[in-house]
Amino acid sequence: MTNPLLEDTILPAFSSIKHEHIKVAVEKQLNENRQHLKSLLSTVNSHNWKNTIEPLAKQGDKLSRLWSPVGHINAVVNSKEFREQHDACLPLLSEYSSEFGQNKDLYKAYQQVAANNQLTAIQRKIIDDDLLDFRLAGVDLEENDQVRFREIKSRLSELGSQFSNHVLDATMAWSKHFTGKSGLEGLPDSALAAAEAAAKEKDQEGYLLTLDIPCYLAVMTYAKDIALRKKMYKAYSTRASDQQPEHSNWDNAPIIKETLALRHEMAELLGFKNYAEYSVAKKMAKDPKQVINFLEQLAGYSLEKGKQELEALTQYANQIDGVTELKPWDVAFYSEKLREQKYDISQEELRPWFPENQVLEGLFEITSRLYDVEIKERNDIDKWHEDVQFFDIYIVDKSNENQKIGSFYLDLYARSHKRGGAWMDSCRDRMLLSDEILQLPVAYLTCNFNAPIGDKQALFTHDEVVTLFHEFGHGLHHLMTQIDEIQVSGINGVAWDAVELPSQFMENFCYEKESLSLMARHVDTKEPLSERILQKLNDARQFQAAMQMLRQLEFSLFDFRLHLEYSASDENENSISKVLKSVRDQVSVLQPPEWNRFENGFSHIFAGGYAAGYYSYKWAEVLSADVWSYFEEQGIFNKKSGEHFLKEILSQGGSKEAMALFVNFRGREPSVEPLLVQQGISKNN
């Protein structure tokens, strides 16, 4: 019986992958990689790029291509059996990674390659990055410390998966059933239709509310019943915590505590004072102090205006409903009403202008105009779910046949057993396998929007369109690379605090008349958005911008200070909540209730790659706003601007330092001013 994970296929055979295939395949591939490395080190005397770095990269890619569909399936069609096998492999993969990173003979081989003066600039960047990775993996540690380091890495891998599983299980465990529309007043038709479909899926009559993001946001934004909003808010903000006594085995608090302790210990083993120092070692930011100063600088610009925005919202709520003190479950509800009154524009009312087909067509046309590419759908591809779409992307060459440069899967809809949020991940990385064979990049683009009901196509809110464009920006960074060395192709080798630049850059096209005209057309009448609505959409972009900025700064400061200020001697159970309270006292304009356990669902830093790095969203937002200001100066569809961005940033991957790429594009280092102007936040506030 063949194992689909071990077959050398261009794309994964998703329908053939079963849970029993996983561990067998991983163990076999790891053994092959180990034997390959042993043979290489024993037979090669003089190490160079061709005989050492290239074959190791190809061997590493085999493991990546095997594990990619496993990790993805676990995220988008999760099952008990698949999860168990996935999680059983995490210690094996962690152990292999540590073995590789701590191999002193291999480290010496890389140092030998580094001594070669004939390396290209890209090869030099890769070797320098790899040598740093060896040091951060503990290659210089004594044997006992290396063993402990490997134990920590393995345990952290397990803890991250457990954290994510707890959040998913807690999300799926909660629901509220309504036999009729009574109690659901205010919810738009789209939300009611989705709730009705959710009930039918569970063989129930009426409507079923869940904590899936489209449902949760609809209730918080439109439900007139305050008690329902509070109930949903509490259920969502206490997921995987001690506030869910009926599911105490999903409490992430012990995982958070152990994770922080292990990260701190690991950083100290490597000679860093804390995990924040360790995290910054591979980022654009020079040191933790620069990060803190950056975040506090943005807070200083935003705090007074944020207070004014909250006061205006409170006055409005008091005016229409006699509310004297806003609660967290009131903010989205009254904000949407105030937005509608102030700008005569509603997210829900905009849905008919953003039908899925038209949005995708517009997105692809915008991409085509910027970079001379063509995107075509294919239907002969094996997929993990019937809702998934697949597209190829081609460079348009007027003199020759169009050249395919990559492909992507698109999984847009929320469903049970699918991780929440939106993300881009790699299925395949661009790599030159031989002189004749080029492996093209393939991306997973995943969102969680309401699925279409019946034979009607899905209708998106404008916020959802922004999310789609964001993830597509990540996808373009992965797909448009022209770098053949896998270590720095696409998003590989890109500093984490710069990786959001292409994604945040793409969001801007959701507000411009020229680009909106390509995707915003009424589903029935085909009429474009009127000039009045276009103007109001742009005016509304700055609505409560300071409050939104402060919310992101709260998350960023909490994450960074949590890792910066951690003390191994601090056994106080409340140390985490103390940091969170301190941050909120500093930058928040509205305090959540004591029972809020936001941190227990903060998957970005406890189950993702953003530990002591959540600030990257704001850091990269400065970069993207500055890049966008260049496009505004030149015209957003100016061919030379698109070519310039593609040449200097999008196609370059991690082949150069992020700051060097930015300076090559902009002609100077980044300025915070374009972001403050874009969001209507004055430096004088």
Distance between CA atoms of residues 217 and 506, nearest Å: 23
Q: How confident is the model at residue 402 (pLDDT cuts 50, 70, 90)?
A: confident
Is the pLDDT confidence value at 404 over 80? yes
pLDDT of 101-111, one tens digit each? 999 999 999 99
User: How many angstroms from the chain centroid is the CA of residue 584?
Assistant: 24
Is the pLDDT confidence value at 685 over 50? no
Cα distance between the two ends of the chain: 68
More confident residue, 245 or 31: 31
Quote the tokens at residue 421.
Answer: 């949020």
Q: What is the rounded average pLDDT of the residues 126-155?
A: 97
What's the mean pLDDT when you consider all of the chain?
A: 95
Residue 115 DSSP one-character state: T
Distance between CA atoms of residues 340 and 175, nearest Å: 29
How would you class 104 by CB atoms within 10 Å of its CB: exposed for 0-12, middle for 13-18, buried for 19 or more?
A: exposed
For position 421, what pLDDT does the model report?
Answer: 93
Q: What is the rounded average pLDDT of the residues 232-237?
A: 97
pLDDT of 568-616, one tens digit each? 776 555 689 899 999 999 999 999 999 999 999 999 999 999 999 999 9
Closest CA to 333 of 494, 219, 485, 444: 219
Q: What is the rounded average pLDDT of the residues 301-329?
A: 97
Is the pLDDT confidence value at 518 over 60? yes
Angle CA(300)–CA(496)–CA(159) in degrees, nearest 5?
100
Query: pTM here?
Result: 0.94
Q: What is the rounded average pLDDT of the residues 324-333?
A: 97
In the sheet that 403-413 helps form, which strands lie side by side, from edge to edge? 373-378, 389-395, 403-413, 442-449, 423-428
Q: How confident is the model at residue 248 (pLDDT cuts 50, 70, 90)?
A: confident
Q: How confident is the model at residue 246 (pLDDT cuts 50, 70, 90)?
A: confident
Q: In this structure, are residues 279 and 612 in contact, taking their beta carbons and an 8 Å threshold?
A: yes
Catalytic: which of 277, 309, 471, 599? 471
Residues of the chain above pLDDT 70, percent: 98
Is the pLDDT confidence value at 683 over 70? no
Q: Long-range pairs for 551-556 at CB < 8 Å and ≥24 separation?
A: 551/588, 552/617, 552/618, 553/295, 553/298, 553/299, 553/302, 553/587, 553/618, 554/583, 554/584, 554/587, 554/588, 555/602, 555/604, 555/614, 556/295, 556/614, 556/615, 556/617, 556/618
Query: Catalytic residue at 471?
Result: yes
Q: In this structure, are residues 69 and 17 in contact, taking their beta carbons and an 8 Å threshold?
A: yes
In the chain, the domains with their CATH numbers are 14-168 (1.10.1370.40), 174-250 (no CATH), 352-529 (1.10.1370.40)
For position 573, what pLDDT does the model report?
Answer: 54
Greatest extent of the chain over all pairs of C-alpha atoms, in Å: 81
Is the pLDDT confidence value at 127 over 50? yes
Q: Tokens 């009154």 identify what position?
A: 341
Distance between CA atoms of residues 141 and 322, nearest Å: 64
For position 684, what pLDDT does the model report?
Answer: 46
User: How many angstroms from the chain centroid is the CA of residue 354?
Assistant: 23
Q: What are phi and psi of 388, to 5 degrees?
A: -75, 140
